[in-house]
Structure 1
Amino acid sequence: MTTNAQEAFTRIVLTLPPVERLRLAALILDDLTRSDPPVVTQDNTWSEQDRHDITAFSLQYAAMLYPEDQELV
């Protein structure tokens, strides 16, 4: 039986108390930083996708903070 991330999260992670969920998150992040090849790179450059993602997130966040300004756009 194959389990994807969403199924594991729903069936297992959500049943854990918050402290154990934080511990699990730390274990996952620690594992990712030690993987070979590295999943997390140490370079200081942003790809076009990185710039697109941060722009989209910033606009969504601004729209959430200032919903009344949506009429102006």
Structure 2
Amino acid sequence: MQRSILTKEEGLYLEQMQEWIEEQEMIKGQLKSTVDHYVFIASSNTKQLSLHQERVGIGRKEFDEWKAENGI
């Protein structure tokens, strides 16, 4: 049989733990958001690096062609 009357100490403990659990869920949400943000940034930076390397490659090729055309 379950008792339904809590002592003041039990009530305070129950309320404190419920608040703590809610706080932990909020922290978990913040951490997940932070991780998702950094995953997005890493993905974006990887794409930007790829595009940069491609543009540099094009520039080098054009420069090498220009040098060859001008006998340099």
Query: What TM bracket, shorter-length normalisation?
Result: 0.3 to 0.5
TM-score by length of 1: 0.32
TM-score by length of 2: 0.32
Higher relative contact order (CA 8 A, sep 6+): 1
| Structure showing greater Rg | 2
